[in-house]
Amino acid sequence: MNFLYQAAALMSQTNPQLSASYGKLAKSIGKKAVLRMEPSIKRTLCVRCGVLLNPATTADIHDYRHKELCYVQVNCKLCGYMKRFYNSKNHQLWLDNPSSLVERIEFDSNS
Ligand SMILES: [Zn+2]
């Protein structure tokens, strides 16, 4: 998955279709192996086509700030998919929540 993500990042500037193919492949391998991507990495891939959303080449990023609603809107230039990431003060990622951790195992090298 790491190699495919790096390949998608490299190809996003020169060949976005190949980048989309690598991004989709990385997602499908993660599903097959039952692995989760880090949310910050997962958000850089387009949900629909899998291209790496590079603000310089493959994505348009708009920051909307209204009185009650603030969000970042990312538009994919390859497939036209629009994703909004809402910015609320009370929102917390599940991985940052301490209750998401079931057990912590520490290995001691001395014993
Ligand atoms: Zn897309």
pLDDT for 53-62, tens place per residue?
988 889 999 9
Span from the CA of 16 to the centroid of ligand 1 (angstroms): 10
Domain ranges of the chain: 1-90
Residue 85 has pLDDT above 80, yes or no: yes
Q: Which residues contact 73 (CB under 8 A, 6 or more apart)?
A: 61, 62, 63, 64, 82, 83, 84, 85
Higher pLDDT, 109 or 4: 4
- The answer to which of 9-13, 68-72, 77-81, 89-93 has the lowest mean pLDDT is 89-93
Q: Model's pTM, two decimal places?
A: 0.74
Span from the CA of 3 to the centroid of ligand 1 (angstroms): 20
CA 97 to CA 106: how far, in whole Å? Answer: 20
68: which 2 tokens? 């009650």
Residues with CB under 5 A from ligand 1 (ion): 46, 48-49, 76, 78-79, 81
